């Protein structure tokens, strides 16, 4: 299970962008994670995510955008429930776009790889 060739399998870079547009449309109106995106330039976020994933999926050699760790620095704390919600919305979006099950799993694995670095737990 690998993301190698995933961009070609889903139909190319423009298809990736369409899927991300759909994903962020869901994210922005979501009661759990929507508030993160209030007042932000969505097209810019989509563009950054697109470039990031093109690199993560091996379709291009370089990503010129912000590192996700830097990009999230100024945001409210991302908690485990937010992160889980994002992955759920991603999975729903990918299913709706008929992405192959193995590719969905591989894609989610890439995003999950950032969990430890992006999620801030409550100090308890
Ligand atoms: C619940 C989880 C997440 C939330 C709520 C979230 C939200 C956001 C928001 C609001 C921004 C815009 C920041 C700004 O305006 O400067 C952003 C940027 C970004 N996010 Fe996330 N994010 C999440 C998880 C992730 C994950 C898992 C990844 C990568 C695997 C990622 C990749 C990026 C990238 C690359 C950018 C920068 C885009 C650019 O180049 O401007 N995010 N995120």
CA dist., res. 105 & res. 40, Å (int): 29
Q: Show pLDDT as tens, one digit a residue, over the chain (124 residues).
A: 799 999 999 999 999 999 999 999 999 999 999 999 999 999 999 999 999 999 999 999 999 999 988 999 899 999 999 999 999 999 999 999 999 999 999 999 999 999 999 999 765 5
- Nearest Cα to 118, choosing from 65, 74, 63, 79? 79
* Annotation: CATH topology of 6-118: Globin-like (1.10.490)
pTM above 0.75, yes or no: yes
Residues within 6 Å of ligand 1 by CB: 33, 36-37, 40, 44-45, 48-49, 52, 65-66, 68, 71-72, 75, 78, 82-83, 86, 111, 114, 118
| Atom of ligand 1 minimally distant from the CA of 56 | 30
Contact 58, 4 (CB under 8 A): yes
Coil vs helix vs strand at 33? coil
């Amino acid at each position: 299970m690998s993301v190698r060739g995933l961009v070609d399998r889903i139909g190319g870079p423009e298809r990736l962008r369409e899927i991300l547009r759909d994903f962020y449309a869901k994210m922005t109106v979501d009661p759990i994670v929507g508030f993160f995106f209030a007042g932000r330039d969505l097209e810019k976020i989509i563009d950054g995510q697109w470039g990031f994933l093109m690199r993560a999926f091996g379709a291009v050699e370089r990503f010129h955008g912000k590192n996700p760790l830097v990009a999230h620095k100024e945001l409210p704390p991302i908690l485990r429930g937010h992160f889980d919600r994002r992955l759920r919305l991603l999975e729903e979006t990918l299913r709706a776009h008929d992405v192959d099950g193995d590719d969905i799993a591989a894609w989610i694995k890439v995003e999950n790889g950032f969990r430890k670095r992006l999620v801030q737990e409550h100090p308890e």
